[in-house]
Structure 1
Amino acid sequence: MKPKVVIALDVGGTFIKSGLVVDGELLQASCKQHPALADQDADVIIEQFISIFEDQYQFYTGTLGKSADCTWNIGLAFPGPFDYQQGICYIQGLSKYEALYGENIQEVLYTRFNALQHTEWAKHLLQADIRFENDAKLFALGVSKLFPNERYISLTIGTGLGSAFIDHASILNEGPGVPKDGWLFDKPFLENSIDDAFSRRGILRLAEQMRALEKGMDVKELAEQARNGNSLCCKVFEEFGTRLAGMLNSYVIDYQPNRIVIGGQIAKSIDLFGPALTAGLAESSIVIFTSENVYEHTLIGISRLFDDSFGFN
C-alpha cells in the first residue's frame, strides 16, 4: 500500500507552521516555522504557501530519500471567517490575510500547481486532495489521538477563544449540549461575549477591573507577578478560573464530557487559574488536560481530515 503523506500547514497571522504526517505519524524532523506574510498582497501569500509545499515535498523525497509514489494530501488549518468546505477565505478587518478575501484558495492552489506541472513536485501535488478546517477544531481533533474513545470539550485560549466538541475522535457540530458549529466564542457571558471574557483581552480587562494591571503589563507579566507572590495578580487568575468554570458548567451538564482540554497561549498560565477551574467544576468530577504542544496536535488533526475513520458530524 502506498504511504499516505499529508503536507500540513497551521496558518497563523504571524507564522505558518508546517510538517509532514505520514500514515498518521508526525515526522518531527519535518516541522518548520515560516513567516506568514499575512499583510502582503494575495500573490505573495499564495507564493509563500506554494514555497512551503515544495519545501516539504523536497524534504520527503530528497532529504529523507523517500519515493514520490505516495498518496499526497494537503491540509490547512486556517483562521476564520472561512468557508472550509469550499475553501473560500472571508477574513476582513483582522489585519491578516485580507488580500485573500473572496478567493477560493483551493482553486488558486490547483491553478498554480497546474502552471508548474513541468516540475516533478508540482505534478505530484496537482493530484493531491486539498482540505481546510478551523484551527481550533483541528487542534482538538489532534488531541483525540491521546483520547480516542473519549468525549471532551476543547478550548484554545489566546487572542480569542476557539472551541470544539469531540466524541470518539469525531468533531460534533450539533447535538445535545453542542452549540451551532461547536462555537462558543459568540455566546453571551455576563455583559459581554465568551470571546471577550476568556481571551488575552479578557484577562487584561479583569486585571484592570481588579486594579492589578500596571503600565506595560501583558498576560505574561501578570502571570510572572502572580508566581512571584503578588496576591492581587493571583486573585485575577483565580477569578478567571472561577468564571471559566461558571461558563462551562451548563455545557458540562448537557454534553457530559469526560474531560476539558485547554490549549493556546493562556494555557501556559494553567498553574494559576487551573485550581479555581477544577474547584468550580468539582461536582462533575471532570478531568482537565492542558496541552503544551498545540502546534503538533494541530498538524496531526490536519492529517485526520483525510482519514475515513475520523468524521465530522
Structure 2
Amino acid sequence: MSSHSGKAPAQTVVTVAIDAGGTFMKGGVLENGVLLPEPYLEQPSRSEADAESFIAHFASLIIRLAGAYMSGSGTTEHGVTFRIGTAFPGPFDYERGISRIRGLSKYEQLYGLPVGDLLKKELRRRAWLPGSDPWMQTLANADMAFGNDAVLFGMGAAKRYPGERLLCLTLGTGLGSVFMDRGRAVSGSDGVPASGMLYAETFEGAPVDGQFGRRGVLALADALQARRQGDDVIDLAAAAARGESAALQVWRAYGERLGRMLRPYATAFRPDRLILGGQIAKSLPLFGASLAEALQPVRPPVLYEDDLLRQVFYGADMLFG
C-alpha cells in the first residue's frame, strides 16, 4: 500500500544567488531558504566585456551552480523550482532588470539594456541545445529578480534581527547603505533619503560615496600626510595596528567624520543597531570609538558583520518574498 496520500510531492525551491561585483562574480545556492555550504563558485566578472559576452559569461555561472546542485542533491527536474536572485551594483532599474551604469568603468556596455530579459533568452537558448540536461529547461523558466548589493546585505542582516530597526552600511570601494525597519527597507520617511540610500547625499559639500569608501580613506590619509607612496587602505590599517601614530590619526578622523555624517540620519531614524560590512569595516576596532562618540546623543550598538556575502545571498533569496 502506498504511504503517500496521492498529492504531488512538495517542490524543492532552489535559489541561485549571485553577487555581481565589479571585479568578481560570486554565486551560491539556497535550498528552501537555507544557504548550502556547497556549491560556491567565483569567477572574474568581465565587467568590461561587450554585452553579448557578459550575458553568456553570467549564464554560464548560473548553469554551473544549478548543475552542481542537481548532481549533488539527487533531485529530479520535476521536483525543483528554480529562482535566480542577483545583487547588482547601481545605478540599476531593479524592478525591470535594466542597467543604468555609465561612467563607472564597469558594466559600461550594459547601459540601457534589459539584463534580465537577455539572461533569460540565453538560458533558454542553451536549454534547447542538443544534449542539454533536462533540468536546464526548468532553470530557463526560473523567476528572476535583481537588488542592490547593500540593500540585500541589509535584508539578510534583518533575518537575524527581524523586529528591529537597522542602519546597515557596506564600506568598500564606496559607501552602500540601507535603512531596515522590521525586515523592510525604508525610504523617504523618518529622516531617510527618498532613494533609501546615502551614497548621493552630500557631506561637507561633497557626495558621501566618495568620502567613506577607499578613495575617501586615501584622501584623508593624504590630507593628514600619513600615507607613504603606494600605500593602500590595507597598508594604513596595518600601520595603525602596529601603533603608528599618523595611521591611527587617519582612522580616528575617519570614524569621527563617518559619525558626524550619520548623526542626523541616525537621530531621526533611531536604529536599534548599526551594522557594518565590507573591507573597510574590518578596521572597525581602529575607528569604532571615534564613530560612537561622534554619533552621540544616539548610541546604537555598532556591529561588524564578517560574512557580508552570506547576508547578500540570503537577501537575494528574500527578493522572492
Question: What is the one-letter code of the residue matched to 2:19?
Answer: D
State the Cα distance separating 1:254 from its structure 2 match: 0.6
Question: What is the one-letter code of the residue matched to 1:210?
Answer: L
Does the CA-based 8 Å contact 2:98-2:113 persist in structure 1?
A: yes
Mapping of residues 1-313 of structure 1, within 5 Å: 1-68=10-77, 69-118=79-128, 119=132, 120-307=134-321
Q: Please tell me the root mean square deviation across aligned C-alpha atoms, in Å.
A: 1.3
Distance 1:192 1:117 in 2: 49
Unmatched tracts of structure 1, length 5 or more: 308-313
Distance 1:238 1:27 in 2: 39
For 1:46-75, what per-residue CA distance to the aligned partner results, in whole angstroms no more than 9, with x for missing partners? 111111111111111112322332221101
Question: What is the one-letter code of the residue matched to 1:101?
Answer: Y
Question: What is the one-letter code of the residue matched to 2:94?
Answer: Y
State the Cα distance separating 1:282 from its structure 2 match: 4.2
Percentage identity across aligned positions? 38
Distance 2:187 2:19 in 1: 21
Distance 1:83 1:218 in 2: 33
Corresponding position of 1:310: none
Distance 2:215 2:106 in 1: 19
Unmatched tracts of structure 2, length 5 or more: 1-9
Q: Between Structure 1 and Structure 2, how many residues are aligned?
A: 307
Q: Which segment drifts farther, 107-116 or 97-106?
A: 107-116
Does the CA-based 8 Å contact 1:15-1:35 persist in structure 2?
A: yes
Distance 2:314 2:75 in 1: 20
Q: Which segment drifts farther, 81-90 or 65-74?
A: 65-74
State the Cα distance separating 1:226 from its structure 2 match: 0.8
Question: What is the one-letter code of the residue matched to 2:276?
Answer: I
> TM-score normalised to the size of structure 1?
0.95
Distance 1:203 1:4 in 2: 42
Does the CA-based 8 Å contact 1:54-1:121 persist in structure 2?
A: no
Distance 1:184 1:232 in 2: 29
SS in 2 for 1:232: helix
Does the CA-based 8 Å contact 1:172-1:181 persist in structure 2?
A: no
Q: Which segment drifts farther, 192-201 or 3-12?
A: 192-201
For 1:249-281, what per-residue CA distance to the aligned partner results, in whole angstroms no more than 9, with x for missing partners? 111111111011111111111110111112223
Does the CA-based 8 Å contact 2:41-2:65 persist in structure 1?
A: no
For 1:289-310, what per-residue CA distance to the aligned partner results, in whole angstroms no more than 9, with x for missing partners? 1111111110111000012xxx
For 1:175-231, what per-residue CA distance to the aligned partner results, in whole angstroms no more than 9, with x for missing partners? 211111211111111132211221111111111111111111111101111111111
State the Cα distance separating 1:134 from its structure 2 match: 0.7
State the Cα distance separating 1:97 from its structure 2 match: 1.2
Distance 1:143 1:158 in 2: 18
State the Cα distance separating 1:116 from its structure 2 match: 2.7
Corresponding position of 1:311: none
State the Cα distance separating 1:152 from its structure 2 match: 0.9
Does the CA-based 8 Å contact 2:168-2:276 persist in structure 1?
A: yes
SS in 2 for 1:182: coil
In structure 2, do the counterparts of structure 1 residues 121 and 100 end up closer, same or farther at CA, with 3 Å as the change threshold? farther
Question: What is the one-letter code of the residue matched to 1:5?
Answer: V
